[in-house]
Amino acid sequence: MDKLSSLRAFVKVVELGSFSEAGRQMRLSRSAISKYVSELEQSLGVQLLNRTTRHASPNENGQAYFERALAVLADLDAADQAVAQAQATPRGLLRVNAPMSFGTLQLGPALADFMADYPELQIHLVLSDDQLDPMQGGFDVTLRIADLESSSLIARKIIGIDRVICASPDYLAQHGEPVTPAELRKHALLTYGFLLTGNQWKLTGADGDHWIQPSWNLCANNAEVLRDAAIAGRGVALLPTFIAGQALRDGALQSFLANYKAPPLSLYAIYPPTRHLAVKVRLLIDFLVARYTAQCGW
């Protein structure tokens, strides 16, 4: 038995005094309304309505049950409205995980603007360069810059991220500017050693793919550290443009080997699979897509 439909049918019959009129308002046949009410009476083991050919009215049991049913349906409608309002105005806790450098350089300012649009949200941001498990960490959204491996989680690409080969002008003046990927092997390389390719650099140009095994003097899991070392003249770095961009514009770093590209990375939003994506999650992801797509300065 569909208890909720039976309750609604019973209440409508009592309010209108007619099975036929209740059926018209609920867009059901008279027989369907009658079946709902009969199933309700059978489940309770009592008769609730006095019936005539044209009229239906509650008996004593029916009147008491009608009043309780009204309260139950009113509470249910209130719950539906509360959820609908929450969908229209997101509120509550939103837990976000993101890489450290991206979080401090790019995500922080973005979240500040997002919070201005949705002031009733509480955002708990956890920055880490370790790949934390989104499920075990209880995160609503995890941002990753990577080539993703297969997973039961859902991933939405937000934007592609280019990488550039760069060094300080002083370093290049002292050691010379490489003109082929092979010449990088003669240089001190600053490498991010936590990609799927390991420490190897893959560069692709018109003459094909080149794999460089760095003879590195600094390996770190944070690209800001590599950027700062490159600015200080300690070697050559392969950096995401969102980290190196300002130093390149200021002249503190200089890019080269422009005809060779490293495989681009992508920024993904990862979230658990659900039948109905929480509106706060959808709003944040849509916000980041719109913001970063418009920011071509990276």
* CATH number of domain containing 117: 3.40.190.10
pTM, entire model: 0.64
pLDDT at 97: 94
pLDDT at 70: 84
Angle subtended by helix axes 241-250 and 223-231, to nearest 10: 20
Exposure class string for 206-232: b at 16+ Cβ within 10 A, else e: eeeebebebebebebeebbbbbbbbbe
Give the three-state DSSP class for 256: coil
pLDDT at 201: 87
Same domain as 69, residue 35: yes
Angle at 234 between CA 217 and CA 201, to 5 degrees: 55
Same domain as 203, residue 171: yes
Same domain as 271, residue 227: no
Same domain as 31, residue 16: yes
Name the token pair of 86: 């929450």
pLDDT at 86: 58
CB 140 within 8 A of CB 271: yes
Same domain as 284, residue 255: no
Same domain as 101, residue 79: no
Strands (DSSP E) along 99-256, which ranges?
Answer: 121-127, 141-146, 154-161, 163-167, 189-192, 201-205, 208-212, 216-220, 236-240, 254-255
Same domain as 273, residue 258: no
If one counts the domains in the chain, the total is 3
Same domain as 259, residue 169: yes
CB 260 within 8 A of CB 206: no
Domain that holds residue 237: 163-263
CB 176 within 8 A of CB 133: no
Same domain as 272, residue 151: yes
What is the full per-residue pLDDT of the chain (298 aa) written as tens digits? Answer: 688 888 899 998 998 899 888 888 888 998 998 899 899 889 989 999 998 878 898 999 889 898 888 888 888 877 776 666 556 667 789 999 999 989 998 999 999 999 999 998 999 999 988 777 777 778 899 999 876 555 557 888 898 888 999 999 999 999 999 999 999 999 999 988 655 455 788 899 999 999 988 778 888 888 899 999 999 999 999 999 999 999 999 999 999 999 999 987 889 998 877 655 678 888 999 999 999 887 655 6
Same domain as 175, residue 198: yes
Residue from 191, 169, 172 nearest 252 by CA: 169
Residue at which a domain ends, from 88, 104, 135: 88
